[in-house]
Amino acid sequence: MLIQVDFTYVVSLFLGIAGAFWGLARMLLAQSQKHIDEKFKGIAETLRGQDDAWRRIERDVMDLRAELPRDYVRREDHNRVIGAIHVSIDNLRLTIERHLLERRHGGGGGHAP
């Protein structure tokens, strides 16, 4: 059995198959390009959201830096102030004791009780 095929038929068949592959490839590339564009759009929206979040965080940190010196006392500063208060109370105690001893021993400086 002998099958005869005309050359133009073979060429047109080849061109038809090549065209179909070409069209399929273009369609797949267009779909992948669309998918990539959607991904990048989603990433861009996420980055915009993160940028807003970073701005909010930076603003909160700046507010904290402004409030911190007003509300926060370092341990060393607190100890120094408490120590000064203790010294003042001790000096007041000594002064009161000295005045009471002077009154008790009659050396009140001529003041009447």
The domain spans of the chain are 13-72, 75-107
Hey, is 109 helix, strand or coil? coil
What does 11-78 look like in DSSP terms, one character per residue? HHHHHHHHHHHHHHHHHHHHHHHHHHHHHHHHHHHHHHHHHHHHHHHHHHHHHHHHHHHHH---HHHH
* C-beta separation of 80 from 73 below 8 A: no
From the list 112, 90, 91, 92, the residue with the least C-alpha distance to 103 is: 112
Q: What pLDDT was estimated at residue 113?
A: 45
Taking the chain (113 residues) in consecutive chunks of 10 residues, what is each chunk's mean pLDDT?
84 94 96 95 89 91 85 81 95 94 74 48
